[in-house]
Amino acid sequence: MDIHVVQPGDTIYRLAQQYGVPMERLLQDNQLPDPSRLVVGQTIVVQYPELTHTVKSGDSLYSIAQMHGVTVSQLFRNNPVLQGRDLIYPGQVIVVRYQGEPRGGLTVNAYAYPYIDRSLFRSTLPYLSQLTPFTYRFDGDDLIPLQDEFLVNTALQSRVVPVFHLSNLDDQEQFSGELAHELLTDPEDQRDLIEEILETVDRRGYRWVDVDFEGVRPEDSTAYAQFLARLRQALTSRGLPLTAALVAKTSANQPGRLYEGIDYRLISQSVDFALLMTYDWGNLSGPPMAVAPLPQVRQVVQYALTEFSPNQLFLGIPNYGYDWTLPYRPGSRARSVSNVEAVQLAWNRRVSIRYDEQAQAPWFRYVDDQGAEHEVWFEDARSIQAKLNLAFDSNLYGVGYWNLDRPFPQNWVVLNSMAQIRSEM
């Protein structure tokens, strides 16, 4: 795999000639909405097929996979044009294997809202080991229902592990320290909630559990770890692992409302895995900067490795960017954008995309129709490659994406090239 950064004068035709690959493959792998709209600074992922299969009458993906000793999921990953559907036709060329070896194995998790576009969901499911529908909430000792049937059932059909997700989101869509406090100080409510979690896990078919409490009060840090330990003990009898999604910390005593109630050391003894939420340095209400600048992400990983073993950890990866109006003023809010939308915005405003080598993230500025200047930070193939390299260099167990609800075709091509995606079923 190569990652090409578009230069002035580049066209898809010229890039196909330069890299010796069919133009159609560049279009399919990068899912470019309009091949004539290349932005200077945009990334194009180039893959080199090593083994292909030309579809004959009577072939199916299953028979092709059997013939070549690969899985159907791998065929879907190698051929994003299929969009996760077994709809092939005679004469179609299917890539069985690409040149180059992956760096190693990763377990790949991703969050998704129940209302995710179903075509987008099906097309990205082959790249996952786990799927986490977001989110079950609670009121006292009662779970609030989630319309998760389609996501869970489709994941199971695709041999992707569905992960039950519990959060302390309140009815205002905010993480509530008060809601967590009420639960963590009431053993009876904890017992009843754990029983309801187990019942829901059994009934829905979940194979894993993930707890994401944010804004936990400092005085509740020990009680939170104890709650996780009780839940883990209950899950162990069913052979189900427990993950805790953790705010990104760089030290044990890091000050701040988000950090003081999350004790990495205690939690490491209470769960099987932890997902590091290594994103949102650049956020809706903060100043413009990379969403997940690599030096800061690396600091979190380095600290986490002092409390957890590498094979307990997932590295969080963002699938989004932000558009800030300049000059930034405290109290103002950015607009969330998808990574694909960011490139389209750069094209529409006729600006080039830059790349911050320290943050390992793309960005650009533009002026809107009202004359206001904007700054946009997002993710591209280079920034994803840098994060995956960090996960491999640190021997982490896996990666976790927040979230699947926006398309990001290049991410899955880069992931497929770099990683052997584990099956957890």
Same domain, 233 and 147: yes
Same domain, 180 and 78: no
Q: Residue 228 belongs to a domain with what CATH number?
A: 3.20.20.80
Burial 327-362 (b: 16+ CB within 10 A, else e): eeeeeeebeebbbbbbbebbbebebebebeeebbbb
Return d(Cα 194, Cα 216) in angstroms, integer. Answer: 19
Return d(Cα 158, Cα 312) in angstroms, integer. Answer: 25
Same domain, 157 and 286: yes
Return d(Cα 249, Cα 246) in angstroms, integer. Answer: 8
Report yes or no on 424 lying in a domain: no
Same domain, 13 and 160: no
Report yes or no on 365 lying in a domain: no
Same domain, 273 and 181: yes
Q: What's the DSSP call for residue 136?
A: B
Helix ranges, 288-336 (H): 294-307
Same domain, 140 and 70: no
199 among known catalytic residues = no
Helix ranges, 185-220 (H): 187-204
Same domain, 162 and 24: no
Return d(Cα 317, Cα 266) in angstroms, integer. Answer: 24
Report yes or no on 36 lying in a domain: yes
Same domain, 236 and 311: yes
Three-state SS for 48? coil
Q: And the tokens for 134? A: 């977001």
Q: What's the DSSP call for residue 271?
A: -
Distance of CA 115 to CAs 74, 120, 134, 203, 206, Å?
Answer: 26, 11, 10, 21, 19
Say which of 24, 214, 373, 379 is annotated catalytic.
Answer: 214
Q: Tell me how many domains the chain contains.
A: 3
Same domain, 276 and 315: yes
Report yes or no on 168 lying in a domain: yes
Same domain, 159 and 36: no
Helix ranges, 51-186 (H): 61-68, 72-78, 118-124, 149-157, 177-184
Query: Of 74, 98, 122, which residue constitutes the final position of a domain?
Result: 98
Q: Which domain holds residue 41?
A: 1-45
pLDDT per residue, tens digit, the chain (425 aa), is: 999 999 999 999 999 999 999 999 999 899 988 889 999 999 999 999 999 999 999 999 999 999 999 999 999 999 999 999 988 999 999 999 999 999 999 999 999 999 999 999 999 999 999 999 999 999 988 999 999 999 999 999 999 999 999 999 999 899 999 999 999 999 999 999 999 999 999 999 999 999 999 999 999 999 999 999 999 999 999 999 999 999 999 999 999 999 999 999 999 999 999 999 999 999 999 999 999 999 999 999 999 999 999 999 999 999 999 999 999 999 999 999 999 999 999 999 999 999 999 999 999 999 999 999 999 999 999 999 999 999 999 999 999 999 999 999 999 999 999 999 999 98
Same domain, 251 and 393: yes
Three-state SS for 330? coil
* pLDDT in the model for residue 296: 98
Report yes or no on 367 lying in a domain: no
Among 423, 414, 364, 413, CA closest to 387: 414
Distance from the first to the final alpha carbon of the chain: 29
Backbone angles phi, psi at 165, to 5 degrees: -120, 125
> Please, which residues have CB within 8 angstroms of residue 154's CB and are 6 or more apart in sequence?
121, 122, 125
Contact by Cβ (8 Å): 228, 211 = yes
Beta-strand (E) ranges in 140-254? 142-144, 161-167, 208-212, 242-247
Q: Residue 66 belongs to a domain with what CATH number?
A: 3.10.350.10
CA angle, 390 then 394 then 400, to 5°: 65
Q: And the tokens for 75? A: 């065929």
* pLDDT in the model for residue 245: 98
Report yes or no on 238 lying in a domain: yes
Same domain, 76 and 217: no
